[in-house]
Structure 1
Amino acid sequence: MVVSGPITPGQVSFLLGILPVFVAWIYSEFLEYKRSASHSKVHADNNLVESGDEKIKEDDRALLLEGGLTRSTSAKVHSSTIKTNLIRFLTMEDSFLLENRAILRAMAEFGAILVYFYICDRTNLLGESAKKYNRDLFLFLYAILIIVSAMTSLTKHNDKSAFSGKTMQYLSRHQTEEWKGWMQVSVYC
């Protein structure tokens, strides 16, 4: 299917939205690379101060994986407004970009996937092909998938938390109770 018309407002708004995100992500990766290169200096005074911050961030990350947000993390999330974050993003503030590097990466990847889908679906850049269905190959791959998922679900995981030293459960009680609640809500809707 070939689109033979002018560029639509939706296409323009998408490009105006994804390009700054992509540029900000690339810049945040560059800042992280520059920061990690400066950490390699052994006798730097700023390295001593920042190593304590990294330990705190690792502790917060371990708590988040085990049981939810910590007080300090939840206070950080609610302290800044959307307007402030938008201004910090548009001005490409280094600390903001470093804090939200993972989010920017996810947004850039999602935008790249959408661009790829658009190219595949709406342009003639990639040629059309005929579908080929092989029932035996499908059943073979499906059987392999079932076997692999059964093997991984039946193995015993002995991972210990770095923060508390307790064994981490992959389907913890908190998670399964949350799923149970959502399933009950979906039944009544």
Structure 2
Amino acid sequence: MKRNLQIKELFLKNFDKPVTELKFKNLYELIVCVMLSAQCTDKRVNLITPNLFKAYPDIKSLANANLSSLKSYIQSCSFFNNKAQNLIKMAKAVYENFNGEIPLNEKDLKSLAGVGQKTAHVVLIEWCGANFMAVDTHVFRVSHRLNLSKAKTPEATEEDLTRIFKDNLNYLHQAMVLFGRYTCKAKKPLCKECFLSHLCTSKDKEI
């Protein structure tokens, strides 16, 4: 569809090879950041992780972490109790099942505690530049406002976007995240500044 192609081209033009706003130095830090970012802002995660990574600089130290101590580092993050448990379980599984090396394929990543499809895809997108789409709250909202998907779940929305866009999915994912975060916001979207306004028929549109 011509309109969908225009949307794709405008995303790629307005966001030149965008990357995540999460701050990380290696694959271990990336997977921890992405796990923490579920239903939490990247800004909040970036405030938490410097001290967290000082205390637990690698998979081994995280696998051996004391649960209550770990919680104290991430308690300002949403769902920190669950996340602390999953982080330790994830690290133990990496250490025991993958010789301490975080796997870089979807199936093995999803076998880790706290790593669903979205988290696995974001890790592969950011670390490998994999041609995957990942659907968070921003991507879900943007894709529905732009009538790219009517799906009820993030997984089904991801299928729609993958079918429509086909390639450059890694960049399109991150472009849609940033677009949803700063322009097509949940409340008071900045429609007057939007480069897709002429292609948008959303009921949320503010003129």
What TM-score, normalized to structure 2? 0.22
What TM-score, normalized to structure 1? 0.24
More helix as a share of residues = 1
The structure with the largest alpha-carbon Rg is 1
Structure scoring higher RCO (CA < 8 A, sep ≥ 6) equals 1
